Structure 1
Amino acid sequence: MAHSNTIDQIAERVDHLLLRHEELQRTNALLTQQVQSLTSERDQLKSRLSAARARVDALIERLPASATTSPQAST
C-alpha cells in the first residue's frame, strides 16, 4: 500500500511539473515575441531619430553665419 501511495505521489508531482513546464514554455514564447517586437520598435525609433538629426543638421547648415555665432543678435 505504501509503495502504491509513493508512486501516486511521484506521478502527481510529475504531472504538475509537466504542466508547469508547458506554462513556462508558453510564457517564454510570449516574452520572446515581445522582445522581438520591442527590438523592432526600438530600431525604427533609432532610425527616425537619426533621420530627424540629419534634417536638423541640414537646417543648421542653412542658417546664416550671424545667427549661429551670435544667439543674442536680436537684443
Structure 2
Amino acid sequence: MASSDLIDQIAERVEHLLLRHEELQRTNALLAQQVQSLSHERDQLKSRLSAARARVDALIERLPTATAPASPEATE
C-alpha cells in the first residue's frame, strides 16, 4: 500500500506540473503577442517622430536669418 500511495502522490504532482506547464505556455504566448504589438506601436511612433522632426527642421530652415541687435541709440 505504501508504494501505491507514493505512486498516487507522484501522479498527482505530475498532473499539477502539467497543468502549470500549460498555463505558463499560454501566458508566454500572450506575452509574446503583447511584445509584438508594443514593438509595432513603438516603430510607428518612431516613424511619426522622425516625420515631425523633418517638418520642424524644414520650418526652421524657412525662418529668416537673425538680424544684428539694434544699437542702444536706436532704441531711445
TM-score, normalising length: structure 2? 0.87
Structure 1 position 14, deviation (Å):
0.3
Provide structure 2 residue ranges, at least 5 long, that are not aligned to the other structure: 70-76
Instruction: State the partner residue of 1:14.
Output: 14
2:37 is matched with which residue?
A: 37
Q: Where do 5+ consecutive residues of structure 1 fail to align?
A: 71-75
Q: 1:73 maps to which residue?
A: none
**Higher relative CO (CA 8 A, sep ≥ 6), structure 1 or 2?**
1
RMSD: 1.5
**Aligned ranges 1:1-75 → 2 under 5 Å:** 1-66=1-66
Instruction: Look up the equivalent residue of 1:18 and give its one-letter code.
Output: L
- Separation in 2 of the partners of 1:41 and 1:47? 10
Rounded to whole Å, the distance in 1 between the matches of 2:47 and 2:66 is 32
State which structure, 1 or 2, has the greater radius of gyration over its C-alpha atoms. Answer: 2
Distance in 1 of aligned mates of 2:12 and 2:62: 75
Superposed CA offset, 1:44-68 (max 9, x none)? 000000000000000000000027x
Alignment size in residue pairs: 69
Off by >4 Å, runs of 4+ in structure 1: none
What is the letter of the counterpart of residue 46 of structure 1?
Answer: K
| Alpha-carbon displacement from aligned partner over 1:10-56 (angstroms, at most 9, x marks no partner) | 00000000000000000000000000000000000000000000000
